[in-house]
Chain A
């Protein structure tokens, strides 16, 4: 058996390359062993011990290749190693910009100088830097990324204010800009109503309802759920509000958020009142304030914010808040009569976080205290996320349930399992759920769901099932067809999430 070695002076290769060369040499026919190491004293001693030859002279920064095997094979191995180490590298990043992959915003702008919006979807720890780069390049930003700290969000948004640019996000999953849906968004007609929302599904509900009522959307801007946090100051909502105020295509503006800090709410309402266009505000669960600034209209639900906006656009009287009619009560009583005395509770299983929140608020208006993984004011956290207790209204899109698995709007498997689990609980009176359509959402939302509903209906005492489908007939998944299939399966359908929650609450409160 022969041994051969070669020392490459001051040659640095990264560890992965060294391992690849070593592995390649090892596999060559006639080679019984190969060592590819840096020429440190310790390594030279080791390869001498391993029989690769004594007396190899090298320094720590030299690369040593040593092989054992047939003499001819050793020769070939050394040559192959030398070729691999000295091969001229691919010089593909040189001049032709058309051939360059677009790996930075700056490169993208070189090829598409007209671009003015950067969509950022990278792990949260990198998102801040990318957002700052985009803003410094003069681009508006939509940050799909989450896990960005409040402090970083403030830094990004202050920079955006300085540059008069819009930042949507972090954790902004929904927007419609100049008619182009971004992230989870629905296909809605273009029109004169602009929406700014600190809630993804809230934005979807409002834009879909506007479409369903026959009007259209000029722009739908998300701000990210933390924008109205005291430390961020509603900077994106304020910017979006002003942008829509300045937009000649927008006649009416809708603002949606969970209740902000009072100081932030005051600031936003003051700005809204100063705008010459009507502004509809839905701060979920906050109700109407004592002071009602001129030109600002308060709505008590997501859907109603759309209904008020449509009425304002059509210059019709603003509809009064909807009260339970005799017909509503009759419907609820009819459905309640199917239940047995043991069935007492609402079980809400939601994919949309804001739908879950809105359902809790509406139920609490009926005196129903619920448990949830995202409890609204007055409600309590669930002791065990995986098992309901009493009235339970959960958001399966929350981090509690989505770590390591897709969001239920994308893959409804977990939602369907939970629906069946609730249906099999003899205490469940009403099973309340949502189905969110549009871009990004599951293309086949009924797959497995109809089987689950069928199994639920086969229970000795099936619960009343109430659903709301958030979407439009222009969505990739047709809302009309899905609603028909659910109705055929015995599900009670509501026009909006609020209507669904009201019906559920009426049934249970009448038991």
Chain B
């Protein structure tokens, strides 16, 4: 039995039934019967923690796709997640410690935020240039390369970002990740910045988000994002960007976010930088 060491703050404690939605070498997503938490993930420690994931060292299990299949039964009883027909993977969640979301913004230091934003943007552009092998000297270069269209004024028509839904490579397409970054930044700023709050409210308006325009894995993360929940590295990046004077911590938070997926972390970071740049008063 594998012992989970960490659990997201939205992970269920009660029993549930479900089935394997998708399985990868080091993670498995479970569609559950719970209304509050219809989606739970079990992730290897090397992957970024999300609010609905249990994390454990899956190295000893080997490749999960050899043990589990899409549609396999999955259930939790007494804090232990089991699968059927396979009994080779069992996750004990009882000792897992719950991580908590980053604290909400309590004060806004504009010069600090501007400094952090410039540093993150420079580092991000450098990263994107290396990854794409093409000169990326401004966020516009990145948007062109990715084929993403963004509103000139985010506050005017934030809904335009939904046009990018499902656009781009990867299991969570670039357009989705970018939107997720925008939501993370807007949620981070909203306690003290009314324009950010308006963006969040308009993007979360009922009926606007069509989950069928993208993959169901990506749709899950976007639904969480619309409700203000993000993976741990993304939360940390926004928190440090907005509130930390220590440049090293900001850079570390960016590095951790850039490490998400193949390009998801970079796309999300780009969304964060774009949104803060748009929402920050000039």
Contact = CB atoms under 8 A, between A and B. Distances in A.
A40 B171 contact: no
Contacts of A16: 261-262
Interface in B154-198: 164-173, 175
Given A13-B171, A18-B262, A19-B262, A100 B215 contact: no
B213 A40 contact: yes
B249 to A, nearest CB: 11
B63 A93 contact: yes
Interface in A1-45: 10, 12-19, 22, 36-38, 40-43
A16 B216 CA distance: 18
Contacts of A290: none
Nearest to A93: B62
A133 B94 CA distance: 10
A100 B2 CA distance: 13
A442 B259 CA distance: 33
B214 A60 contact: yes
A129 B168 contact: no
Nearest to B172: A15
Contact of B263 (A15, A91, A93): A15
Contacts of B60: 93, 100-104, 107
A136 interface: yes
Interface string B232-253: 0000000000000000100000
B62 A15 contact: no
A92 interface: yes
Contact of B166 (A12, A43, A129): A43
A342 interface: no
A37 B264 CA distance: 14
A104 B171 CA distance: 30
A60 B219 CA distance: 10
Contact of B170 (A15, A130, A133): A15
Task: Report, as a range, how many residues of chain B touch the other chain.
Answer: 35 or more
A60 B169 contact: no
B168 A90 contact: no
A296 B261 CA distance: 59
A366 interface: no
A42 B95 contact: no
B60, B216, B264: most-surrounded residue (chain A CB, <10 A): B60
Contacts of A46: 147, 167
B59 A128 contact: no
B61 A15 contact: no
B71 to A, nearest CB: 9
A12 B213 contact: no
A178 interface: no
Contacts of B61: 93
Contact of A19 (B3, B70, B170, B212): B170
Given A15-B169, A91-B63, A126-B5, A42 B97 contact: no
Contacts of A14: 24-25, 27, 171, 261-262
A18 B213 contact: no
A317 interface: no
A15 B261 contact: yes
Given A38-B170, A90-B63, A104 B57 contact: yes
Contacts of A126: 5-6, 45
B66 A18 contact: no
B34 interface: no
A104 B6 CA distance: 14
A19 B169 contact: yes
Nearest to B163: A42
A36 to B, nearest CB: 7
A14 B147 CA distance: 21
Interface in B59-112: 59-63, 65-67, 70, 88, 95-97
A103 B56 CA distance: 10
B78 to A, nearest CB: 16
A136 B263 CA distance: 38
A403 interface: yes
B173 A103 contact: no
A38 B166 contact: yes
A94 interface: yes
B63 A40 contact: no
Contact of A42 (B3, B175, B216): B175
Contact of B215 (A61, A90, A128, A133): A61
Contacts of B262: 14-16, 18-19
Interface string B185-225: 00000000000000000000000000011111100000000
The 9 closest A-B CB pairs, nearest first, are: A93-B62, A40-B166, A15-B170, A42-B167, A129-B5, A15-B262, A91-B66, A89-B63, A12-B22
Interface of B: 1-3, 5-6, 22-25, 27, 45, 57, 59-63, 65-67, 70, 88, 95-97, 147, 164-173, 175, 212-217, 248, 261-264
13 contacts: A14-B171, A18-B262, A22-B169, A37-B168, A38-B171, A40-B166, A43-B168, A90-B63, A100-B60, A101-B60, A104-B3, A128-B97, A129-B5
Given A16-B262, A403-B248, 18 more contacts: A12-B24, A12-B217, A14-B171, A15-B261, A19-B170, A37-B169, A40-B166, A40-B214, A40-B215, A42-B165, A60-B216, A93-B60, A93-B63, A101-B59, A106-B3, A126-B5, A129-B95, A133-B5
